[in-house]
Structure 1
């Protein structure tokens, strides 16, 4: 039965236990533990919990392995309430729960971003480096960078626990989520001082922090320094640098970084492609955006609504309404449904060319699709009618706008003037 753990055949292990019971063979603790471990390895926390209850009903005494296996199953799904309850039961049944059990509960709190409970557990039990790393990761997911830095500095020092690269990476991630890029950069630079080497996760979190703060020159600099640190960038690192360049309107640099992904024989993903398309979108480089969109199929990637919408928006910015309409048609033929943002870009593209009839058709088609028109939609359609001196249509749209519960904006009144 032990071989079922490695193969992950938890269903078969349950069947064997049931068969034993039907044959009047009472399963022992080892049989239950093996089956629970198989369920935990497959991430089936409900089955693991049911087996624990079955074991208890059989008047068998569970051990550390029993609890740790069930806790491991709950940990991966972030069921911290169940984990806390199990830990409480473990404290009653067993005098001294093993550190790994506390780590599992802290990790469950981390998965659900329950950083307060993770800190409480650290106070209850003298945590190790893995426990602190999980707790810091919980604060990172909750965007509590001060708590993360307190744990890294004061908390771990008081507990005489040496941080590792995972601990620092979690703290850098906490700073990244809160746009505290200067602090994140300080942590990254401090790693060699504590005899630790930055990893690709360290750099990826750092470049993401720089991207969110619009610090594209620093993001590029860090990317160029990675080979010197003997760290190979991955797609996540490249994607954040591309996004940083896109945010800084540096479309040429963004495309240069994107081409590096292909040169390095890395598998570009949807995020990196969308970031490159967005860079082209903001610069009105509609042909390059279109090439990137079409190239996604060659990379075995399915364009998302973001991919299509950004490319259509690039056409809008370049006043290429024919291309925008053609892309909308192609999108409709694909498995991707357009959203309000997509239609707004096409309507705006038509508005810039004073195509009021096309704008109205798209607006009404949008409503037929069940998409809710917003201020951007109505303003673009009204402006298209006004430019073509279709005042009655503009007034009708203004009335529809109010009846739809959309408040007119200064741009609306300007278009009506």
Structure 2
């Protein structure tokens, strides 16, 4: 019976027509002892009592611990028709599993008449015969209390509460278990937990523990999951500690509690708990690959690739082989953290272990390969997806097209583009950018302009970058008129035209030796409140020099702040065009401004100065003659 008594537990005793309800508020944790703070009982009369009258006897039984070798006496209560309550004692041998205790009874009689007002008498009239009760009880001898017992530190006024605020300690009960088969009781806990009957499952588990029975790991894991579903983290942690102490803990148990800590207290707290469990060598026996997967997933939430790498190494050192989930997590985290080499290592390890990657893993690996410029590996994975009946997503297609374009594999890039359309994916701006870029790098500038026209007719995904790629092709071809058309189209479409776009148009005019057109574009640029940069002025100066527009060159230099690049370009052009005197003036002006010419400028000026000295000497020699 001592195994049945526990914190906030209650039970009922029926004997000879009288009922006694028991409720305790605390108990010791010892195996063969229990301390009942108070015993509140209500005894109800049976058929011996008159039918028109009901007598309720309330008593308080205080119990304390006694040595185990003694026996226990309970008072047996009887009530006569004269309303006197007598107590007869009954012996219970010590072969029953009942801890030893001493009891005293305080009484309170409540008499109610069905036809009259209720009358409450405290210690008057009809009372227990306490003296006779005390005489009938056996002598207890000296009371012995084991100080080594482990008692609950909480009192009845401070019950434990779950994380959702429910008073589970005060409300929970324990039951007398007629069934003693641990497997059957574990099956009942499992059914209750799956039915989400939290209190019933928890009470049955407590009753088993107090009865010296132990539920199996499957039942405890189900109970733990049920408690976490209902937000009772405190009870779940107590169950977790019980499972550790009883050595019935599994990797699934660790996974459940670690995920719960991460969801309620944060990922950092969960990783701290993992480190603490990892430091307990006896607990590492329960670590399995699922538990490692849970810890790796928590690292992924924090994008902590360093800890992820350590866990991956620890998993292999412990002799575990990663699952498909393990490698999917590793690849995803490493790619997200731009650790592409580690992602490729995880993928190779996955293939060596005979695991088949899923489509999301292969998509991530294709992205990692393209970033590492391993387009051949990305292409083989792409082909494997097609052979396996998988459908690569648009992101993987775009990444592969872009990688092939950068590698100069234009035909393969357009082949992937055709497959992308066959799969039902709609090309976007990144697709067109990759294809135009591939044609531009392959010096197929005319094809790039034809493709741009197709894009402009078929798609509304045009943006400034696509226009600029087409303008670069115009610059290479010297197609200044086509560049002007594209510029007007940009402005008419409402796109914001940047300085870079105007620079490309001016550069196309420079290539076509159209300096006056370039100056007109420059003036239009200023009217649009677009601020020119150094590249704008360099292109204009070169255009004006090749067009022999010397006043315009000096005007540009006067308009902008002193810039060594502009002066160097102007002096180079003037020297090459035979404008040595003007170049000398610019050189002197450059030195006065504190600008240092480059080596080419100094070489050109020294060369022309020597020529001037030779001319002076010759003139003076002829003058003397």
**Structure possessing the higher radius of gyration over alpha carbons:** 2
CA offsets 1:123-152 (integer angstroms, 9 cap, x no match): 46766465234334247x46x5x5443222
Structure 1 residue aligned with 2:487: 293
Encode CA deviations 1:326-370: one digit per residue, 9 max, x unaligned.
Answer: 2222223335432222222222222221223322332343426xx
Q: TM-score, normalised by structure 2?
A: 0.46
> 1:150 is matched with which residue?
345
Deviation string 1:199-255 (CA, Å, 9 cap, x unpaired) is 222221122112322333433343344333433322211111111112222222112
CA contact (8 A) 1:136 1:148 kept: yes
Instruction: Indicate the structure with greater strand content.
Output: 2
Q: Matched residue of 1:367: which SS?
A: coil
Aligned pairs (5 A) from 1:264-283: 264-283=458-477
Two-structure CA RMSD over aligned residues (Å): 4.0
Q: Distance in 1 between matches of 2:545 and 2:534?
A: 16
Hey, what's the Cα distance between the residues in 1 that align with 2:497 and 2:265? 40
1:131 maps to 2:329 = yes
Tell me, yes or no, if the aligned pair for 1:179 and 1:209 is still in contact at 8 Å.
Answer: yes
Partner Cα separation in structure 1 for residue 582 and residue 385 of structure 2: 65
**Structure with the larger helix share:** 1
User: 1:107-186 residue pairs with structure 2 within 5 A?
Assistant: 109=303, 119-120=309-310, 122-123=312-313, 128=326, 130-138=328-336, 141=338, 144=340, 146-154=341-349, 156-157=350-351, 162-186=356-380
**Which 10-residue stretch deviates more, 394-403 or 268-277?**
394-403
Residue aligning to 2:456 = 262
Determine which of 390, 400, 409 is the counterpart of 1:206.
400
After TM superposition, give the deviation of residue 301 of structure 1 in Å.
1.7
- Tell me which residue corresponds to 2:581: 392
| 1:359 match | 553
1:237 pairs, out of 417, 422, 431, with: 431
Inter-partner Cα distance in structure 2 for 1:260 and 1:86: 56
Q: State the distance in 2 between where 1:366 and 1:215 align.
A: 44
Structure 2, unmatched stretches of 5+, are 1-161, 165-236, 238-256, 279-289, 316-321, 609-625
The aligned length equals 336
Residues 81-123 of structure 1: per-residue CA shift (max 9 Å, x gap): xx8x5664464799998967744644664xxxx8666644554
Asked if 1 retains the 8 angstrom alpha-carbon contact of 2:564 and 2:596, the reply is no
Query: Which has the larger displacement, 121-130 or 234-243?
Result: 121-130
Q: Are residues 221 and 389 of structure 1, via their aligned partners in 2, closer, same or farther at CA, if it must alter by over 3 Å?
A: same
Question: How far, CA to CA, are the matches of 1:194 and 1:157 in structure 2?
Answer: 15
Match of 1:408 in 2: 599
- Mapped contact 1:235–1:269 kept (Cα < 8 A): yes
User: 1:265 offset after TM fit, Å?
Assistant: 3.0
CA 1:195–1:358 in structure 2 vs 1: closer, same or farther (change >3 Å)? same
- Provide the residue aligned with 1:251 in structure 2: 445
Residues of 2 paired with 1:134 and 1:173: CA distance?
11
Secondary structure of 1:197 counterpart = coil
TM-score of the aligned structures, taking structure 1 as reference length: 0.66
